[in-house]
């Protein structure tokens, strides 16, 4: 643990305080177990108890994660997690709001919300478990799938250039952008703390293998390069680095200085007053 992280801890918490005890139904060996462990450790390091944290997700194997933790959880609609999280954070700014989900959920059906969450720069964290496939619906290619990945649904590959989440995040205005690996939960836990504490919208892309539909992703253990990314504070340099990278360099890519979106003044209105505004 770094000195900075220790200095911010306000309460003694353990990773187990964040575990709901529900047994994950993920396949044995799924990378998402590592992300769950890292979130539990990261939140314990951060030091805010689970009732001060809300975990928001969409739909997918990865989006089941909130059920396995003791924090408030919202398992919502496919691709809409960030829209819900934005509304929650703006109306309940005292909560630590963390959105989790998959590459299909966040970059495909939810791609629009991803871009605009980066633009809005609301002070919250987004963790994507990227396995470069739709796991829950049995192995369709996702936006980050390699163009030549051969599958039953796309024989010979989809032939499309993969979406570059880090470059898109920086270009769209995210204030903290990083990449991690689910097989390194301690390093991910520290990144989670850093992302939570960095003002504005923080995005962590986690390489999280789907061993069932992409067993070759076992090799990611050997491919990842810890500390392969250098921290940039210049957006153009960060985007250039993200585009030049092979997708396996880990660490923080970008830390920006944009002020987070301001919290709107609370509007107290009764249901009758709201209904009256919409009356025809
Ligand atoms: C509106 C809507 N469209 C499609 C689906 C079907 N669906 C459920 S999960 C999913 C993709 C999941 O992939 P990803 O987000 O990458 O998560 P993973 O299962 O790989 O963790 C899809 C297409 C749905 N539930 N709702
Ligand atoms: S199908 Fe893939 S992503 Fe889903 S639980 Fe199994 S290994 Fe994980």
pLDDT in tens, 29-59: 999 999 999 999 999 999 999 999 999 999 9
Q: Is 158 helix (H, G, I), strand (E, B) or coil?
A: coil
Q: Is 27 in the pocket of ligand 2 (CB under 6 A)?
A: yes
Closest residue to atom 6 of ligand 1, CA basis: 137
Contact 64, 76 (CB under 8 A): no
Q: Which atom of ligand 2 is nearest to the CA of 26?
A: 5
3: pLDDT confidence band, cut at 50, 70 and 90? Answer: very low
Which residues have any ligand 1 atom within 6 Å of their CB? 59-62, 78, 101-105, 129, 131, 133-137, 142, 210
Summary mean pLDDT of the chain: 95
Q: Which atom of ligand 2 is nearest to the CA of 29?
A: 7
pLDDT at 9 over 90: no
Q: Which tokens is 128 given?
A: 């994507």
Q: Is 133 in the pocket of ligand 2 (CB under 6 A)?
A: no
CA of 135 to the centre of ligand 2 (A): 5
**What digits encode the pLDDT tens for the residues 116-153?**
999 999 999 999 999 999 999 999 999 999 999 999 88
Here the contacts of 155-162 (C-beta below 8 Å, separation 24 or greater) are 162/132, 162/247
- Using CB atoms within 10 Å of the CB of residue 171, give its burial: 0 to 12 exposed, 13 to 18 middle, 19+ buried: middle
Q: How are strands ordered across the β-sheet holding 53-57?
A: 72-75, 53-57, 96-102, 125-130, 202-207, 176-181, 251-255
């Amino acid at each position: 643990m770094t000195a900075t992280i220790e200095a911010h801890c306000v309460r003694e918490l353990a990773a187990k305080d964040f575990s709901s005890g529900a047994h994950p139904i993920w396949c044995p060996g799924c990378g998402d177990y590592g992300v769950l462990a890292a979130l539990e450790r990261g939140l314990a390091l951060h030091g805010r108890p689970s009732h001060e944290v809300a975990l928001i997700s969409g739909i997918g194997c990865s989006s089941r994660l909130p059920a396995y933790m003791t924090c408030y959880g919202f398992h919502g609609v496919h691709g809409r997690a960030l829209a819900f999280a934005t509304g929650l954070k703006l109306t309940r700014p005292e909560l630590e709001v963390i959105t989790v989900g998959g590459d299909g959920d966040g970059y495909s059906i939810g791609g629009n919300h991803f871009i605009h969450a980066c633009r809005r720069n609301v002070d919250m964290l987004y963790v994507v478990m990227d396995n470069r496939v739709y796991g829950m619906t049995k192995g369709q290619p996702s936006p980050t799938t390699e163009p030549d990945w051969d599958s039953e649904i796309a024989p010979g590959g989809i032939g499309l250039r993969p979406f570059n989440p880090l470059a898109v995040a920086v270009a769209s205005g995210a204030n903290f952008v990083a990449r991690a690996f689910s097989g390194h939960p301690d390093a991910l836990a520290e990144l989670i703390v850093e992302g939570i504490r960095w003002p504005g919208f923080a995005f962590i892309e986690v390489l999280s293998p789907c061993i069932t539909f992409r067993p070759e992703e076992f090799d990611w253990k050997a491919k990842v390069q810890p500390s392969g990314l250098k921290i940039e504070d210049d957006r153009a340099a960060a985007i250039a680095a993200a585009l030049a990278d092979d997708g396996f360099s880990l660490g923080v890519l970008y830390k920006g200085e944009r002020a987070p979106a301001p919290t709107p003044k609370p509007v107290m209105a009764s249901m009758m007053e709201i209904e009256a505004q919409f009356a025809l």
